[in-house]
Amino acid sequence: AEYMGICDWTSLDALPDAVIRAVEADTYWCLTRILDSLHLNYTNDQVGIQHMQHLLEELLQRMDPALVEFLAEKGVSLAAVSFRWMNCILMREFNLQQIARIWDTYFSQPDWVTFHVYVCAVLFVHFSKTIRALPDLSDVMLFVQALPVASWGETELETLLSQAFVAFEQFNDARKH
């Protein structure tokens, strides 16, 4: 308990062995939980990513049908546009500090992979007006791969995660999204 607060140690060597073992055990548990959740993403057919993309499409049909219609009219595949978000778990869209905050929320969820899809859906809804103003597929692809979120702070991230939680509670147990 005395080692749980902020400390002045500059080296892990200064930590007692019991603390090191506890940190190693917690780190191992977190890593195995992440890998267990993602193993279907990295099979030949990438079934896990396909499932996430299908869920995203169902959610957007309910949350923002105008965006789904726009993408279809422009010949934009939601699967193609969202692949990087699903594959990299938004690592490339947000900076490290933002990702640490987002992932902290993810890993506190019993089904963090599904919650991630809800975060992606809320991102699409948030930027829907901007996306629908883009002229073609290449502009949509460029936009979603360079979201204007670099200046987002705690307030914007909390709003994103809160909206995703509300959508998750509203739609996740629904018979058909």
The tens digit of pLDDT for each residue in 77-122 reads 998 889 999 988 999 999 999 999 999 999 889 889 999 999 999 9
Q: Could you give the 3-state DSSP secondary structure of residue 23?
A: helix
- More confident site: 174 or 1: 174
Instruction: Find out whether 67 and 57 touch, Cβ atoms under 8 Å.
Output: no
Say if CB 131 and CB 124 are below 8 A apart: yes
Quote the pTM value: 0.81
How many other C-beta atoms are found inside a 10 Å radius of the C-beta of residue 141?
15
Q: pLDDT tens digits, residue range 31-90? A: 777 776 676 667 777 777 888 999 999 999 999 999 999 999 998 899 888 999 998 899
- Whether 2 shows a pLDDT value over 80: the answer reads no
Distance of CA 58 to the CA centre of its chain: 17
Q: What is the C-alpha radius of gyration for the chain, rounded to an integer number of angstroms?
A: 19
Task: Select the more confidently predicted residue: 22 or 177.
Answer: 22
Kindly indicate the confidence band of residue 1, based on its pLDDT and cuts at 50, 70 and 90.
very low
Distance between CA atoms of residues 175 and 152, nearest Å: 34
pLDDT: which is higher, 79 or 164: 164
Q: What is the residue-wise DSSP string for 62-131?
A: HH-HHHHHHHHHTT--HHHHHHHHHHHTTTTTS-HHHHHHHHHHHTTSTTHHHHHHHHHHHHHHHTHHHH
Contact 89, 41 (CB under 8 A): no
Question: Is 80 exceeded by the pLDDT of residue 9?
Answer: no
Crossing angle (nearest 10°) for helices 137-144 and 78-88: 20
pLDDT at position 10, please?
A: 56
